[in-house]
Amino acid sequence: MPKIEVWPSSISPGEELRITVRGAPIPPRPDHLRINVFRVEELETSWYQETSPECRVRATTIYSRLPATEQLTPDSPYEIRRVELLTGETPIAVLLGGRDFARTFFYVVELGSAKRKMPEVRLQALDVEERRRLLFAQPLGGPWSPSLQQFRVLSFVHGCLLTRRFEFPGFSLRPISAERVGEDEALLVNFVLAQGGWNCSLPVEEWSAHRVRASPIVVAEFPRVLAASFEDASEITASALDRVLDLLALHRGAAGSPFVTILENLETREAHAEHQFPAYHGNLLGGFISGEDQPTLIRQNERIAADPLMALWVSLVGEAEQEQNVDFLFLRYWGILETIATARVADGQVVVNFAGSPITVGGGSVVTGGLAGTRGAVSDLWTFDVKRPHRNGAWRQHK
């Protein structure tokens, strides 16, 4: 196995670091090294810089120097994790720390501070990593009491694209391969096509690959959750995951949604599965009384085809009905009422309530008049109590 050594074991900003590579494959002879330096921090060992110094070869040993730089932050351990041997710009060997050579650390101290020897540098770096491991390994929930049980939880999220693993206190997020995503949909479509005598079908593998690209999947893993019940464990993990998904939506421009969560009691090995695909919340009745009336639908379709503004309103209602958060749903309704009032309510009209009585503000009737008037009318109408079933089935009171 190749061996990579650095000297001295600690440097100050602006000082060079000598690097020796022994036992690496060197024909044809390299003339440069490409060195990737990582910083060992409390929350992550992260890439810090890349440099490509010249090197010279003697027998089976390569000598080089990490150029002096002011960019290295003092009072911090660093690790050389990747070394490429180059001829010109062509890599002839790639060495990865911890796999091809023993982990190699060095330390950066303040200018004029006492230098540290390699055993101390190594212990410092490993101590930072151990504190990080303990931080991420702490359970969610708690604090511990005899009445609490231990669970582990996996939650699968679609619509969230990650290219690396992320660690948080109590859980992690990582992308997963999902080659078979969407196969059920393709098979269903092909079944309907076959029933109708169509001379075509969806290529299942191609469809699955498209679905993977269109809806990437990550898995959130909670190895230890302290909770009184499955329900409590579900709420604890869902709250932690939702916060991170909201942050990722802010940074990544797309919001992930959990679609299934698996919970297991670590003591009894009992397991529960929660399916979280959006449920149907529309009318469960059929027939003309619930909108399944063909003549009416044809006439309405003709009307909105001839009126772009009315088509916009209907489209906005359709988008609002997809909203899962009831508070946001009502805000969408409010916006739709404003657009209708602005376009259809004439100026000088007295605004009345549902009983036909004028709505008064400050002793006078509310009268429409331009955008401000129509918004005032909508706002006053909105102050009346409205009851609507919440998306999770419970009833909530809104004003």
Task: Kindly report the CATH number assigned to the domain that includes residue 129.
Answer: 2.60.40.10
Local confidence band at 178 (pLDDT 50, 70, 90 cut-offs): low
Whether residue 164 has pLDDT greater than 70: yes
Those residues with Cβ within 8 angstroms of residue 179's Cβ, 6 or more apart along the chain or in another chain: 208, 209, 212
Determine the average pLDDT of the residues in 186-209. 85
* pLDDT digit string, tens, across residues 115-130: 999 999 999 999 999 9
- Last residue of a domain, which of 227, 253, 275? 275
The answer to whether residues 306 and 362 belong to one domain is: yes
- Last residue of a domain, which of 133, 162, 195? 133
Rank 29-33, 81-85, 252-256 by mean pLDDT and report only the highest: 81-85
The answer to whether residues 129 and 144 belong to one domain is: no
- Last residue of a domain, which of 226, 249, 275? 275
The answer to whether residues 108 and 32 belong to one domain is: yes
* pLDDT digit string, tens, across residues 93-115: 888 998 899 999 999 999 888 99
Rank 178-192, 242-256, 262-276, 278-292 by mean pLDDT and report only the highest: 262-276
pLDDT at residue 375 in the model: 47
Amino acid at 162: L
In a domain, 282, yes or no: no
In a domain, 115, yes or no: yes
Ranges assigned E (strand) in 41-139: 45-51, 55-58, 61-66, 76-87, 90-96, 104-108
How many domains is the chain built from?
3
In a domain, 293, yes or no: yes
CB atoms under 10 Å from CB of 368, counted, come to: 20
The answer to whether residues 30 and 89 belong to one domain is: yes
Determine the average pLDDT of the residues in 324-346. 85
**Domain extent for 245:** 140-275
How confident is the prediction for the chain on average, in pLDDT? 83
CB atoms under 10 Å from CB of 8, counted, come to: 16
pLDDT at residue 142 in the model: 79
The answer to whether residues 106 and 174 belong to one domain is: no
Exposed e or buried b per residue across 154-168, where buried means at least 16 C-beta atoms within 10 angstroms of its C-beta: bbbbbbbebeeeebb
In a domain, 186, yes or no: yes
The answer to whether residues 357 and 327 belong to one domain is: yes
- Asked whether the whole model's pTM tops 0.75, one would answer no
The answer to whether residues 22 and 62 belong to one domain is: yes
